[in-house]
Each structure stands twice: as structure tokens, then as C-alpha cells.
Structure 1
Amino acid sequence: MHLETERLILRKFEETDATRLFLMDSDPEVMKYIGMSPLSDVSESQNVIRMIRQQYLDNGVGRLAVIEKNSNLLIGWSGLKLLTEEVNGYKNVYDLGYRFIPEYWGKGYALESARASLDFGFNGLKIDVMYAHAHSDNQASNHILKKLGFRKTEQFTEPDGICFWYELNRKNYL
């Protein structure tokens, strides 16, 4: 799977992505609303990549590495994931997510990569409804989901606080 936008390439994760993934996931600001502690060793990032690569095999989709075309650097991840474990009472549904290294925040990359993923999901995979969730305090992520056309349908409690649950139907996608 390979998606491309004006400024980004979204591709499957490779083992060589571990160092840049660790740079992101070891940052406390990045992990603030995730409900996980920052990673402390690059081997944890290697395990994350193995898990995502297994999702590609098992489910046909998984989060994609986001590469900035200008620098050719991994700047985060974005994409669809099949929720195989229950989240807010939902299971076996497609979830949109994204996460970026802080120096790339505020540049429109999350929105740009999410649009590419939604286009692929709705038009390529013919998914009828996609879901997303974000911590209630994560204003940036909640803003992006609303801008993409998601509507907040519920809220639920996670160990780290309240999360908003979003839904987007193919017929309502802009």
C-alpha cells in the first residue's frame, strides 16, 4: 500500500523506521493524550513496527509511515486500522488515526495524510463508515477530525481521561 499527496508519501512501515518512530514515541508531549507512557528504548519501536506489519497481513490495513517528500524523513504515521479489540463498545470497525513528531505539528500534515487515508478507505476499500477517537483535551486532534467531517457521537472514559468518539459515513464525506 502506497498513498501519495502533494507533500507526503504514506507507505507501509519498514524495520528501518524504528529510530524515527522512537524519536516520536519517546517524546512526552506526543504521548500526552495517548494513554501510554513514552517509550524508553528503540526496541519498543521495533516491536510496534512488527505489530503493525502483522496487521497488514492479518487485516489488509494498518497505520502507515508518513514520509515528508522534501526531506525524505519519516515525520509520523497516519492511516486506518481495523479495531480487533473493543474500543468504546466497537470492534471490527475501521479507525482513523495519526501521530506526528512535534516539529511537524501545525503544518497541515495530519489533515493531508488523513484525507488520503479516508479517500483510500471510502473509495478503494469501499468502507461505509469510519470511526476515530481522541482525548477530550487534545484540541488539535479534535479540530482535525471535525474539519475532516467526522461528527462526535459519544464520549467514553479511558484510564487517562475522557475521549470523544467520532463517526464519518461515506455519503457525508467531503
Structure 2
Amino acid sequence: MDLIIETNRLILRELKFSDAESFYAMDNNPNVHKFLWNKPVKNIEETLGNIEHVRKQYVENKIGRFAIILKETNEFVGWAGLKYNIEIVNNKTNFYDIGYRLDEKFWQKGYASEATSAWLQYGFDTMKIKTIEASVHNDNIASNRILQKIGMQITEQYKEDGVSWNWYQLENNLL
């Protein structure tokens, strides 16, 4: 994909295989996976497979998760973006969700809010998506705050494998 989105502090660009080492360092951290089923990746091959999976989504769905790069230092912060979800989540399928994951050293700096705000704008203004959705572990206070900060609303709660999740939605008021 040739898409690049810039914010004041960030560059959002497609994930590349050259991001694998930084991506692995983030995804291998148990703290990053605390609210993601506690399944950190075990080796770089898993990370390369994850990048390959995302890159397939660029081709198949014309969208996917993008690398977050800090303009000032060119560091890999994590990923964020829109995903066309064909899996069943909360008894729903075929929807656009917004998501993000940041390396722990970049937490609490506003990068997730900045990146997701840019993605909401792109999804609504450019892609003309009617509804963007998200799912967050009920106990993940930081992620729940991020989604609320960007204007998303909890529309329901659900359980998956005994874990409580909040389901968020935001409607495109321009359509």
C-alpha cells in the first residue's frame, strides 16, 4: 500500500518485514499481552508470520494495521489501524474495527490516541465507513480511556472464554 498518514508526532505507514525486530520486542513483552490472552510471541518467526498476515489484509481488504513511527527518532512505537474483520467477534462479522498495540516504553505519551484519531478520520472521511467498532478487555483501563477519548461509546459488554470485554462503536455522522 502506498498510504502514509502523518500526525503531529507520528508517521503511520504499512508494516514491513524490516519492522520485525522491533515488533517482536513489543509482542514478546508479557506486559503488552496482559489483556490479550497473555500469549506473547515466542520467536521472531511468529512475528514474521503476523506481519505477513497483515500484509495480506492490505491486498485483500485494502486496509489493515500500520506501523506507528515516531517522527522525531524514527523509532517503531507499535501498530494501529483499521481492520476489516471477517472473524466472529461478539457474534459479529464483516465489520471495521480500530485497534492498536504499543511497545511498553511508549505508553502514556498520547501516541495511541493520536494514531487512532487519525485512523478514525481516515476511515470516516476517506473510506466512508458507516460504523467503526472496537473490543477492549473490561479491565484494561488505559485502552478503555483511549477509545472513550476519541469519541467511541460502549454499546454492550460480552464474555469470551470467561473474560469480560467492552464493545465500542462510533457512527460516521457525515454519511
Counterpart for residue 48 of structure 1: 50
Counterpart for residue 34 of structure 1: 36
Q: Does 1:68 align with 2:73?
A: no
Measured against aligned partners, the alpha-carbon deviations of 1:97-148 in whole angstroms (never above 9, x if no partner) come to 0110011000000000001100100001000110011000000000111111
Q: Give % identity.
A: 41
Q: Indicate how the Cα distance of structure 1 residues 143 and 156 shifts in structure 2: closer, same or farther if over 3 A, else same.
A: same
2:84 alignment partner, one of 82, 89, 97: 82
Equivalent pairs, count:
172
Distance 1:115 1:146 in 2: 11
Distance 2:162 2:100 in 1: 19
1:134 alignment partner, one of 133, 136, 139: 136
Shift of 1:159: 2.5
Shift of 1:156: 1.1
Contact kept, 8 Å, 1:66 with 1:76, in 2: the verdict is: yes
Q: Which runs of 5+ in 2 are unaligned?
A: none
Return structure 1 stretches of 4+ with deviation > 3 angstroms.
Answer: none
User: With structure 2 as the length reference, what TM-score do the two structures score?
Assistant: 0.96
Q: Which runs of 5+ in 1 are unaligned?
A: none
SS at match of 1:50: helix
The CA RMSD measured in Å over matched residues stands at 1.1
Counterpart for residue 8 of structure 2: 6
